[in-house]
Amino acid sequence: MKVDASARPLGSGHAARGLGLREAVRRHGPFALLLLAAALPRLVAMAGYPSMLWFGDSGTYLRSALDAVPSALRPSGYPVMLWMLRPLHDFGAVAFVQHVFGLAVGVLLYLVSYRAARAAWPDRDVLPGLLGCLAAALPLLDAYQIELEHLVLSDTLFEVLLVGAVAALLWRAGPSWTSALVAGLLLGAAAVTRTVGIPLIVIALLFLLVRRAGWRPVAALAASFVILLGSYAAWYRAENGRWGLTGTNGLFLFGRVAAFADCGKIHPPADERVFCRDWKHDRRGMDPAFAAMWGAHAPFRTFREGITDPDGNARAGDFAKRAVLAQPLDYLRTVLVDTARGFAPHRTNRPTAGTVAEYRFPAYYKRPVTAVKASDRYGGSTAKPRVVEPYARWIRAYQHVVFVRGPMLALILLVGAAGVVRRWRGAAVLPLLTGVALIVVPAATADFDYRYLLPAVPMLCLAAVLGWIPETRRCRTAEGDSRPEPGPPGPGLPGA
């Protein structure tokens, strides 16, 4: 029998909307407060530093964006973003976009964790939201993350692309080929933003295989990743005359082995002896890798095209391989020591004191000489450094207190690892292995740098929460709501 709409109690629609609003506040109110708390220091940072902050690499990115060509020094995913924002001619707008990316990372972490917890405990209204806040809190509030978002650097873009890819793979219990396709494109974009993203595709593919996702998602993930990287490599070849993503692979590999390479053990050929030097005792306040790549006696200064010289990079790469094969234990020790630095209680001046200082909001700063002309062309008057008090002083005080210490990062890693040990095919294995790779791969292929740790924080936080949420399958009922299926827990995260 049909019910006449006019027979419904007056105001019942308003009551239902009020009930829905109260329910939404109860479920998501804590995260709304967290998001507001995360937005406030970002607004203070923009008020205190109306232009962006500058790093030694900033000029390279800007010139690539201005010329619309792929850089031979670093991948140009970030310059593509800068090129898209160039019509605004405003570095304040670029900073705003990057801060929005930082908030988006927290939102994605919250949503993935909330959905998993909501499926595990459908009768609990508050707990899923609190667990989502737990996954998102540190990435949202960490002051070094906020400062990184204010720098002309690729790391913030890399981070949001990577978190987006992981979220796409974890969004449903069994990733569809379309979500895997999206994840592959995001991982490919991350890889052409920072090359540390390249090996992460292996982790993603292994995750799909372990979860028995089927051949379609695996093929979609691999194909979309390869197509995007191949397209970039073709663009790079059209501009630079050779296939690749960058022209400096040999440079960074040489920097990695400089700390221990002993030519008396390596016996390199004559054309590679230019790399032989005791970099541990000839560094002038730099760590050996930094001194070998950028110092006054860096061997690449002798090559015609400098650090991008093709022959120099080929020889440096060969020298690095010889060093690893001749001194495998020294190489392993160097990687382990640099990996452990991120978990130390106190920060040290590595790779240099000047580099570490660039990760703090400054009382005074200026642009690097290499970035002045390019920044003026890009942003005009907005490129000029400005420090506005008292806002700058407030964000500096905030950064002095609110950040992830090394032991805290170690604890988060251990909590996530324990959850994965309990359920090795669980959803947490993807963010855990991704976070570990983000810490280990730079230590194994380049050098230690504190900013390399920051993209690992959201991954490890997500793993620490997901590892302890029971996983269930969900089905869509006829009424459209999601309820747990009867039977034993399934291997995947809930789907919408």
Instruction: Give the tens place of pLDDT for each residue, 88-143.
Output: 999 999 999 999 999 999 999 999 999 999 998 998 888 999 999 999 999 999 99
Residue 325 lies in a domain: no
The mean per-residue pLDDT over the stretch 233-258 comes to 90
Residue 298 lies in a domain: no
Q: Is 187 helix (H, G, I), strand (E, B) or coil?
A: helix
Domain tally, the chain: 1
Q: Which residues contact 44 (CB under 8 A, 6 or more apart)?
A: 391, 394, 395, 398
Give the per-residue pLDDT at 415: 96
The half-sphere exposure of 461 on its side-chain side, counting CA atoms within 13 A, is 28
The mean per-residue pLDDT over the stretch 401-414 comes to 96
Query: What whole-number distance in Å separates Cα of residue 275 and Cα of residue 299?
Result: 6
* Alpha-carbon dihedral 160, 165, 166, 172, rounded to 10 degrees: 130
* DSSP-assigned letter for residue 268: -
Give the per-residue pLDDT at 12: 52
- Indicate the pLDDT class of residue 154, thresholds 50, 70 and 90: very high
Q: Is 364 helix (H, G, I), strand (E, B) or coil?
A: coil
Instruction: Give the tens place of pLDDT for each residue, 254-277.
Output: 999 998 999 999 999 999 999 998
Give the per-residue pLDDT at 6: 45
The mean per-residue pLDDT over the stretch 36-43 comes to 97
Q: How many helices (H) and strands (E) does the chain have?
A: 21, 2
Percent composition of the chain: helix, strand, coil (DSSP 3-state, to 5): 65, 0, 30
Its sign, for the CA torsion 294, 295, 300, 302, is positive
Give the per-residue pLDDT at 196: 94
- Indicate the pLDDT class of residue 9, thresholds 50, 70 and 90: low
Its sign, for the CA torsion 445, 399, 359, 458, is positive
Residue 324 lies in a domain: no
Give the per-residue pLDDT at 283: 59
Residue 273 lies in a domain: no
- Indicate the pLDDT class of residue 473, thresholds 50, 70 and 90: low
Residue 173 lies in a domain: yes
Average pLDDT of the chain to the nearest whole number: 88
Is 90 exceeded by the pLDDT of residue 437? yes
Query: What whole-number distance in Å separates Cα of residue 421 and Cα of residue 419?
Result: 5
The mean per-residue pLDDT over the stretch 23-37 comes to 90
Taking the whole predicted model, whether its pTM rises above 0.95 is answered as: no
Give the per-residue pLDDT at 26: 81
Q: Give the best-scoring range by mean pLDDT among 8-17, 270-279, 472-481.
A: 270-279
Q: Tell me the angle at which helices 91-120 and 12-48 cross, rounded to the nearest 10 degrees.
A: 140
Query: What whole-number distance in Å separates Cα of residue 251 and Cα of residue 73?
Result: 10
User: Which segments within 50-127 are labelled E, that is strand?
Assistant: none
The residues facing 474 across adjacent strands are 484
Instruction: Give the tens place of pLDDT for each residue, 42-58.
Output: 999 999 999 999 998 99
Residue 137 lies in a domain: yes
The mean per-residue pLDDT over the stretch 323-341 comes to 94
Where is 476: in which H helix or E strand?
strand 474-476
* DSSP-assigned letter for residue 87: G
The mean per-residue pLDDT over the stretch 355-380 comes to 92
The mean per-residue pLDDT over the stretch 309-319 comes to 92
**Tokens of residue 28, six digits:** 């998501």
Longest pairwise C-alpha distance within the chain: 95
CB burial readout 138-160, b (16+ within 10 A) else e: bbbbbbbbbbbbbbbbbbbbbbb
Cβ burial of 3 (10 Å; 0-12, 13-18, 19+) is exposed
Query: What whole-number distance in Å separates Cα of residue 251 and Cα of residue 446?
Result: 9
Q: Give the best-scoring range by mean pLDDT among 13-17, 228-232, 300-304.
A: 228-232
Instruction: Give the tens place of pLDDT for each residue, 459-468.
Output: 999 999 999 9
Is 60 exceeded by the pLDDT of residue 476? no
The mean per-residue pLDDT over the stretch 277-301 comes to 81
Question: Which amino acid would we find at residue 240?
Answer: N
Give the per-residue pLDDT at 485: 42
Is 60 exceeded by the pLDDT of residue 414? yes
Q: Tell me the angle at which helices 200-210 and 429-445 cross, rounded to the nearest 10 degrees.
A: 150
Specify the higher pLDDT residue, 308 or 191.
191
Is 80 exceeded by the pLDDT of residue 482? no
**Tokens of residue 383, six digits:** 């490129």
Percent of the chain with pLDDT over 90: 68
CB 101 within 8 A of CB 149: yes
Size of the chain, expressed as the number of residues it contains = 496
Query: What whole-number distance in Å separates Cα of residue 262 and Cα of residue 489?
Result: 55
Residue 226 lies in a domain: yes
Could you list the residue range(s) of the whole structural domain that residue 178 is in? 26-247+343-484
The mean per-residue pLDDT over the stretch 368-376 comes to 92
Secondary structure in 3-state letters for 53-96: ECCCCHHHHHHHHHHCCCCCCCCCHHHHHHHHHHHHCCHHHHHH
Give the per-residue pLDDT at 288: 86
**Tokens of residue 468, six digits:** 């302890």
Ordered alpha helix ranges (H), 350-405 = 353-357, 372-379, 391-401
Percent of the chain with pLDDT over 70: 91
Nearest to 198 by CA among 475, 465, 442: 442
Query: What whole-number distance in Å separates Cα of residue 301 and Cα of residue 403?
Result: 38
Query: What whole-number distance in Å separates Cα of residue 285 and Cα of residue 48?
Result: 31
Give the per-residue pLDDT at 432: 97
Q: Give the best-scoring range by mean pLDDT among 179-193, 229-243, 412-426.
A: 179-193
The mean per-residue pLDDT over the stretch 352-362 comes to 91
Whether the ω angle into residue 9 lies within 30 degrees of 0, i.e. cis, is: no
Residue 420 lies in a domain: yes
The mean per-residue pLDDT over the stretch 226-254 comes to 91
